[in-house]
Amino acid sequence: MIDTATYAQLQQDVGDDLAKQLLQVYITESRQIVADLADATKQSEIEINAHSLKSSSRSYGALAVGGLAEQIEQKAKASQFDDELQSLIALLQDQFAQTLTHAQSLIATD
């Protein structure tokens, strides 16, 4: 989900049209990052991908996604590539899917 206060502030700062464009960029870039996090062949990139996702998600109000990305980043930083990390990535995928739906509805509103 997108935090409405954060998104409203973005709209106030840059205008409605640009806010929607920026949110679309977030969706496009984050979709790839989430896919990369779930890709077992890219384990060496988990920490940097999680950090990137954490920062951008919080900027756009996807606070739950940002929080899960932070947990993933911390586990990767500690080299804890275990079942708990995989569970966090699965939770992140589910949360991102919900956030994606909400973000797309915000973009679609006139």
Range of the domain at 43: 4-108
Listed as own residue / partner, the contacts of 73-76 with beta carbons closer than 8 Å and 24 or more positions apart are 73/46, 73/47, 76/46, 76/47, 76/50
For the chain, the distance separating the N- and C-terminal CA atoms, rounded to the nearest angstrom, is 19
| Mean pLDDT value across residues 49-69 | 97
Confidence of residue 40 (pLDDT cuts 50, 70, 90): confident
- Would you state the pLDDT for residue 110? 67
For position 11, which CATH number holds?
A: 1.20.120
**Cα–Cα distance list, 88 to 9, 45, 78, 85 (Å):** 29, 16, 15, 5
Using alpha carbons only, give the angle 94, 68, 45 rounded to the nearest 5 degrees. Answer: 95
In the structure encoding, which two tokens stand for residue 57, read together? 């998600």
- Would you state the pLDDT for residue 5? 96
> pLDDT tens for residues 9-39?
999 999 999 999 999 999 999 999 999 999 9
Domain count, the chain: 1
Alpha-carbon distance of 76 to 68, in angstroms, equals: 12
> pLDDT tens for residues 60-99?
999 999 999 999 999 999 999 999 999 999 999 999 999 9
- Would you state the pLDDT for residue 42? 87
